[in-house]
Amino acid sequence: MAVLERIGGGATDLGPLCAAEFLQADGEDSYRFWHPLTQEVAYRSLLTPRRRALHAAVARALVDLDGERLDERAALIATHLAAAGEAWDAAQWEYRAGEWALRRDLGEAAQRWRTVLGHLAAVEPGEQSLTLELRTRIRLLRAATWSGVVLPDRESIFAGGAGLVERLADRAELPLLYVARGLEQFTAGLVGDSVEAAEMALALADGQPRADTLAITALFASDRSVYGGSAGDALRFADLAVARAGDDPDLGSGFLGSSVLARAWHARAEALAVAGRPGDARREVDRSVELLRRRRELQFLPFVLPCYVRLADLTGSDHGAGTRAAEAVRIVQETGMSGIMLITALEAAALAALVAGRFDETAQRCSLALAEARERRTGLFLEAVLLGHLARARLGLDDGAGARAAAAEAVDAARRQGARVVEVYARLVGGTVEGSARELRAALALAGELGATAYEPFCLEALARLDKDDAGLAGAAARFAAVGATGHARRLEAGLA
């Protein structure tokens, strides 16, 4: 009503229109048409110049009257500006609407930024419009990858972004273009390529020293390294991301949709878990989850909560694995998320079931996640991991042939993707399933090379069991205890006793 009065220049009595059943009250201070056809007829009766002028007036009134809710209202403002034919202003407000949606709905954010590109197509190119287009392309690629939105033209979106960089004097967004590209490669299973993109993003960020970009590129490098680099690199980059984020939980949230600091703590947790420091890892993931909950950035929890399940598997202790996995799945179901979040939640649920000895459930969830990842070409960085879980589940179900087939496929996938840390796990599973000392020693050697210390006692245990070597089992138990895997240490000690 306030908007209508602002446009009309004073108080407006809508009583007669309500009595004639053209309008009806819709809340305390708003009205709507009785029927969509009535609205359509009224709208079409306006000449185009008058219609555009009214849309522009509504947009201005919304900005003037609702200053505290501009982020929330940005999409509506953009809609009116677009209808008014003001493409440049519409693009800016639509971009803002995408930023607001990013922390709530990644899919909506992707759609908003796709709309921005449509508006910019009608704008005369200039430094400002080209900069906005580059930022939009980068954020569209990233949000679409995370949310599972299919972009048939993703190659042209990236290529167009690269072309824009060459036309701009300010190259500050270039590192983020490689972050978006690397994320797309990572989720498509090109883990080795994504590590190279991370290195490029880091190098470019050092030449464009913006605090948020420096922190984001370090975080990105850590996320990639824990799969395709080494535990030492992953921890070093995570420490760098934490240091660059400082005490500012808001830093980088406009790009990530969540706090860089929270995500960097999670990256540290993943690296520490692989490095055989589960106590430190638990502390870091607790901090990450607490900050994400406090900031209500809950849509990223399905990516973080699985860390508890991995800790349970590596240590033989509970860590609330079942509860955390169930929460991740529930968030995905309630929000309708797909893409990376869905695959990671399904992987966590599969591993939680495996830890609990529910092998049928593990096999079912692994098969579902693999089918989803392969069909949508997303979350494939977890392909070898899921195949490893599947092999262990089939072994538990006394399906030796199925276990061997899944284990061999896991090793092939890890090596094809350049996922070197994951290859340690795949070789460990393969050696256990096949009863191959050679494969187990290869896994042990690779774990030592990459600092994936958490896997070393598993290799030692499997080798000792092959040799029926009690002294070797005692050594494995001691190694489990040394890396904080106390549950597995107790398990072996009880068996020896």
- Given a cut of 50, whether residue 345 has pLDDT beyond it is yes
- Entry pTM: 0.85
216 contact partners, CB below 8 Å, separation of at least 6: 175, 176, 179, 205, 241, 252, 255, 256, 260
User: Is pLDDT larger for residue 181 or for residue 59?
Assistant: 181
Q: C-alpha dihedral over 169, 170, 171, 177, to 10 degrees? A: -120
Instruction: Report the chain's terminal Cα–Cα distance, integer Å.
Output: 80
Q: In terms of pLDDT, which residue wins out, 71 or 47?
A: 71
For 461-490, the pLDDT digits (tens) are 999 999 999 999 999 999 999 999 999 999
Q: How much is the average pLDDT of 269-285? A: 98
Structure tokens at 485: 């895997």
Residue 21 in this model has a pLDDT that exceeds 90: no
Q: What is the pLDDT of residues 216-237, one digit of tens each?
A: 999 999 999 999 999 999 999 9
Instruction: Give the residue-averaged pLDDT of 393-420.
Output: 97
Max Cα distance, the chain (Å): 94
Q: What tens digit of pLDDT does each residue of 258-271 get?
A: 999 999 999 999 99
* pLDDT confidence of residue 32: 63
User: 32 - beta bridge partners?
Assistant: 24
pLDDT at position 1, please? 45
pLDDT at position 10 is 46
Q: Calculate what percentage of the chain has a pLDDT beyond 90.
A: 65
Asked whether residue 426 carries a pLDDT value surpassing 50, the answer given is yes
| 54, pLDDT greater than 80 | no
Which of 125, 136, 106 is closest to 299 using CA atoms?
106
The mean predicted confidence, pLDDT, of the chain is 89
Contacts of 363 (CB under 8 A, 6+ apart): 390, 393, 394, 397
Residues 237 and 219: beta-carbon distance below 8 Å: yes
Q: Give tens-digit pLDDT for 138-154.
A: 998 888 887 777 777 77
Mean pLDDT of the region 328-345: 91
pLDDT exceeds cutoff 70 at 9 = no
Q: What is the pLDDT of residue 390?
A: 98
DSSP state, 485?
-
User: What is the rounded distance in angstroms from the CA atom of residue 372 to the CA atom of residue 347?
Assistant: 11
Q: Which residue has the tokens 């040394």?
A: 482
Region 311-324: what's the mean pLDDT? 97
Average pLDDT score over residue span 238-255? 93
- Band (pLDDT 50/70/90 cuts) for residue 400 is very high
DSSP one-letter code for 172: T
Which residue would you say has higher pLDDT here, 163 or 444?
444
**Amino acid 173: pLDDT:** 87
Residue 275 has pLDDT above 70, yes or no: yes
